[in-house]
């Protein structure tokens, strides 16, 4: 299987961590999103990463769908419960983490697109939302104590924020949790780079 991705994408990082934890080999193909390849556009008409290309050529896109697909490939470790409340709790955490990633990307891109005159109220509102999310996550860290897709997604989001918005880093117990979780080999191997 091939994973079309960028080294900076928090969504792709989440997928890569899942694959590593499950012992699934992916051929990583780093894409240039400023000059999208024919391969990416044929696999995913929106030209977004991550996109997973299966051995038969079929493409799967959007990180939640890719993560569910990978999780069902083997039982080495179960990252998403198969049914019930436990499943929805994991998926809820993943959705929150994905929204947190989107907020961080929006704030970062606003600053990149308009470095001299970025829309400060917009960026401030995005950064305030990140801080509120940090408070929420910290108040529920016990829910992330069992290894699943939930802490993988949350740690991928926090890692991206630390990478792109280093002035909005996690503090206190959340920072301790993130630093400890980041010691996992799957996290250490997928640190975002420029």
Q: Which CATH number do you get for residue 30?
A: 3.40.30.10
Residues 67 and 142 occupy one common structural domain: no
Residues 100 and 67 occupy one common structural domain: no
Q: Residue 161 falls within a domain, yes or no?
A: yes
pLDDT confidence of residue 38:
97
Residue whose tokens read 């709790």: 89
Measured CA angle at 24 (ends 20, 30), to 5 deg:
70
**Residue 90 domain boundaries:** 84-188
Return the structure tokens found at 113.
């697109």
Whole-model pTM above 0.75? yes
Residues 30 and 102 occupy one common structural domain: no
Residues 173 and 132 occupy one common structural domain: yes
Structural domain count of the chain? 2
Residues 67 and 92 occupy one common structural domain: no
Residue whose tokens read 């992916």: 26
Task: CATH number of the domain at 158, please.
Answer: 1.20.1050.10
Residues 98 and 143 occupy one common structural domain: yes
Tally of CB atoms within 10 A around 188 = 10
pLDDT confidence of residue 16:
99
Q: Residue 193 falls within a domain, yes or no?
A: no
pLDDT confidence of residue 189:
98
Q: What are the average pLDDT values for consecutive 10-residue runs of the chain, which has 194 residues? A: 98 99 99 97 98 98 98 97 96 99 97 85 95 98 98 99 96 98 99 91
Q: Where are the alpha helices (DSSP H) in 23-148?
A: 38-43, 63-71, 84-113, 120-139
- Whether the Cβ atoms of residue 93 and residue 152 lie closer than 8 Å to each other: no
Beta bridge partners of 2: 27, 53
Task: Please say which residue of 71, 94, 120 terminates a domain.
Answer: 71
pLDDT confidence of residue 116:
81
Of 127, 189, 114, 134, nearest in space to 164 by CA: 127
Residues 59 and 108 occupy one common structural domain: no
Residues 124 and 176 occupy one common structural domain: yes
Task: Please say which residue of 46, 71, 96 terminates a domain.
Answer: 71
Residues 179 and 93 occupy one common structural domain: yes
- Whether the Cβ atoms of residue 9 and residue 163 lie closer than 8 Å to each other: no
Q: How far apart are the first and last CA of the chain?
A: 24
Residues 110 and 22 occupy one common structural domain: no
């Amino acid at each position: 299987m091939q994973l079309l991705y960028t080294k900076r994408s928090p969504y792709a990082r989440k997928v890569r961590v899942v694959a590593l934890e499950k012992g699934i080999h992916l051929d990583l193909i780093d894409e240039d999103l400023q000059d999208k390849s024919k391969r990416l556009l044929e696999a995913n008409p929106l030209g977004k990463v991550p996109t997973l290309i299966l051995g038969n050529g079929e493409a799967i896109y959007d990180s939640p769908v890719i993560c569910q697909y990978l999780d069902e490939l083997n039982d080495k470790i179960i990252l998403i419960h198969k049914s019930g409340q436990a499943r929805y709790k994991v998926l809820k955490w993943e959705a929150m983490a994905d929204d947190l990633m989107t907020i961080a990307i929006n704030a970062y891109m606003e600053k990149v697109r308009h470095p001299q005159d970025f829309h400060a109220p917009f960026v401030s509102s995005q950064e305030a939302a990140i801080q509120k999310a940090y408070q929420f996550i910290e108040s529920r860290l016990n829910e992330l104590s069992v290894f699943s897709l939930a802490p993988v997604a949350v740690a991928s989001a926090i890692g991206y924020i630390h990478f792109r918005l280093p002035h909005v880093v996690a503090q206190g117990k959340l920072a301790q949790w993130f630093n400890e979780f980041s010691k996992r080999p799957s996290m250490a191997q997928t640190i975002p780079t420029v």
